[in-house]
Amino acid sequence: MTSFIVLAAEQKSAEVTDWAARVGWLVGLALFVALVYWLMREGWKWRGTLQGDLPELPVVPSEPGAARLAMSGRYHGSTTAGQWLDRIVAHGLGTRSRVELTLTDAGLDVVRPGAADFFVPADRLREARLDKGIAGKVLTEGGLLVVTWEHGDRLIDSGFRSDRAAEHNEWVDTLNDMINKTEGAR
């Protein structure tokens, strides 16, 4: 009987969960995540304010001409030329999206569902190349089509990735040929 009393005295009930502490931690964590998100959003808006001197983007001319090349894929953003981490967010250029690219004699038409479309006139195109990254997106070597163009007093790199990566080389060759002919005509 004494052993039974000793066993009964040694048994304890399980710890009771402190729900107030758990709820407090969860609320604190949710507030922290909301704060970080808000700070990121404010930083994005501030960057757009700093780039407010960027002129409005050109629109497609009424008669752009026949399509030389067409491509569907992803638009990964635009940066200051040569500075692959300096994202440009003004006028929606920082918004990633699907893209339909069309190259005509008039220039490069960039149609983005869910984001602002823009047009790069042929005389403002400066270079096309294959690269591996642009602000926030790094791919394999040559996995990104980067088009350098002039807008206002800035040179801008815009990054595109085709749904069919084999198209990239044709785009680089055609764009650079077009740029060289345009520069020769000036």
- What global pTM score does this model have? 0.75
DSSP code at position 164: S
pLDDT of residue 155: 93
pLDDT digits (tens, 9 = 90+) for 25-78: 999 999 999 999 999 989 878 877 777 788 888 888 888 888 899 999 999 989
Label residue 89 by pLDDT band (50, 70, 90): confident
Region of 114 please: left (phi>0), alpha (psi -120 to 50) or beta: left
Radius of gyration of the chain (CA): 27
Q: Which residues contact 113 (CB under 8 A, 6 or more apart)?
A: 97, 98
- What pLDDT, in 10s, does the model give residues 138-181? 777 878 999 999 998 889 999 999 999 889 999 999 999 988 88
Cα–Cα–Cα angle for 58, 61, 67, nearest 5°?
Answer: 110
